[in-house]
Amino acid sequence: MSKPTLSDSSNGVKTTFTIEEIQKLLPHRYPFLLVDRIIEYQESERAVGIKNVTMNEEFFQGHFPGRPLMPGVLIVEAMAQVGGIVLAQLPDVPDGKLFVFTGIDKVRIRRSVVPGDQLLITAELLAFKRKRFATMATRAEVEGQLACSGELMFAMVD
């Protein structure tokens, strides 16, 4: 599979992504694709994505009946997927390689996320070591309030 070439700006670097374009970059699919749109992208640096949280999400059936809360682990996964948008497009990454989520550090959940919320997720590349390991600073906000933040680690695999 060759690396997608997406562009929408004069310098050839795409700065926003629709759900269809996200699916060209990430292997995730329903019900595990947790990013609806990328609204800002800076090559090899950062991405800002949106996750619209709706009552139709399957996890709300059991988490929790009568008091729906988005599981914290899924908020973290959504942050990792936004980070994956940055990593999938690094110029030094060979075609056919994939970054997998390998670690979590300093993650804190600060507020509940409920149906009707819109998560604004920022992932910023902190380090890319030995052209194989990456660390991202991530944060998820709802209406300007921090919902979750932390550092996520990734490793490149075949």
| Interval 35-55: pLDDT, tens | 999 999 999 999 999 999 999
CATH number assigned to the domain comprising residue 75:
3.10.129.10
2 in a structural domain: no
53 in a structural domain: yes
Reported pTM? 0.93
13 in a structural domain: no
Is residue 23 classed exposed, middle or buried when 0-12, 13-18 and 19+ CB atoms within 10 A define those classes? middle
Q: Which residues are catalytic, by number?
A: 63
114 in a structural domain: yes
Q: How many CB atoms lie within 10 A of CB 56?
A: 7
Higher pLDDT, 40 or 14: 40
Average pLDDT, the chain: 93
Residue owning tokens 């910023």: 124
46 in a structural domain: yes
79 in a structural domain: yes
- Expressed as residue numbers, the domain containing 106 is 19-157
| Domains of the chain: total | 1
The pLDDT of residue 2 is: 44
Reported confidence tier of residue 10, pLDDT bands at 50, 70, 90: low
> Is residue 150 within 8 Å of 138, Cβ to Cβ?
yes
Query: Is the pLDDT at 25 greater than 90, yes or no?
Result: yes
12 in a structural domain: no
Tens of pLDDT, residues 147-157: 999 999 999 99
Reported confidence tier of residue 11, pLDDT bands at 50, 70, 90: low
Residue owning tokens 């059991």: 62
6 in a structural domain: no
